[in-house]
Amino acid sequence: MAADTNRVIDSLRLDDTFLDEEHRALRGVLRRFVTERIVPRADDWEAGLRVPGEVFRELGGLGLLGLSFPEECGGGGAGTRGAVVFNEELGRSTYGGVATSITVHTDFSALHLARAGDDGQRRRFLPDILAGRSVCALAVTEPDVSSDLTRLATRARRDGDHYVLDGRKTFISNANIADVFFVVARTGEPGSGRHGLSLFVVERGTPGLSNGRTFTKSGWHSADTGELVFDGCRVPARNRLGEEGSGFRWMMRGLDHERIGLSAQAVGLGEAALARTVGWLRERPAYGRTLWDLQALRHELARFTARLSAAKTMLYHAAARADAGEDPRTHAAMLKASIPELVNELVYKCVQFSGGSGFVTGSEVERIARDARFLAIGGGSTEVMLDEIARLM
């Protein structure tokens, strides 16, 4: 079923147009890993509300946790296109929470070491991160601050050869399972806006760091999500990434990459939803025929297939241009503003066309529908992205 449904999208030959041979081989490895090691076990992870550490170690053993890291950092050098393939195939698993937990580690947090870290920091942290022995999280959002990073209030006060962090971070993916946290805190005076932020590596077990609430969510069940509390948390000054006050710049570079990755996850989820729904319609008897024989239904899914194909083409183009050294900011905002919204429209119809089975907890289409919802929120909501595009016009 899936092969038949994806034939139209695959016929665009986007892999041949935009990807190198290494990227295409990577897709095959990832697809096997998802089929053999994620899908059979992911229901247990959904029930346990987290992805086990062994999964990160398995991925690390295959060299899949550092795909977008430069080779000089011990990574795969696959760039933004590698991240797109990685996110897309994890999304295609139909388990958005699994995709999120893993990519928060690989693409949304640890990559800051490659961007802003010095040689000593990379030698200290990267071997365990790339091997999956240490799991990572990104700590940005605060209870009173979401998209406006200039209002972040968690404080980092210099005290000799340490910084003392005080504040609270919320809605943090991997909050309870991570060993290493990439934390944005204010080193400048209150009101210093974007110029007063710095980026720190904080290890679990650091005095003054604790977990707060753990959240139960309507989707992304296997993506552990919670709060972090910093109460006089003493972090060695050598754990600051980049110059003091440069945190906003590093965060924006990371967000562009994150938004492209989340868009790729949405494409994977959308393609999986299409495959399952077309298969259902072709098999479901109705009125002496099948549901697929009803023109209104198949035309609706044909329309979404065309729209998703166009969106995927833009995604691959954006990734290729980023790998060519172009600033990805405009593309990232456009992708994030459009693809998750499109996929949410699509999966709404997939639930509708699947009837009661699409509303039963645990069915693939039902899970995709609730997991896709947050992709239009996290990493910069659709509304924030549209405002970003307007500023760039």
CB of 261 closer than 8 Å to CB of 87: yes
Strand partners, 285: 290
- Positions marked active-site: 258
Backbone angles phi, psi at 373, to 5 degrees: -60, -40
Strand partners, 184: 199
Strand partners, 139: 183
CB of 202 closer than 8 Å to CB of 233: yes
313: Cα within 13 Å, side-chain hemisphere: 12
Please, what's the b/e burial string for 78-88 (b: 16 or more CB within 10 A of its CB; e: otherwise)? bbbbbbbbbbb
Q: What DSSP string describes 27-93?
A: HHHHHHHIIIIITTTHHHHHHHTS--HHHHHHHHHTT-SSTTS-GGGTS---HHHHHHHHHHHHHHT
Cα 348 from Cα 342, distance rounded (Å): 10
Backbone angles phi, psi at 172, to 5 degrees: -95, 115
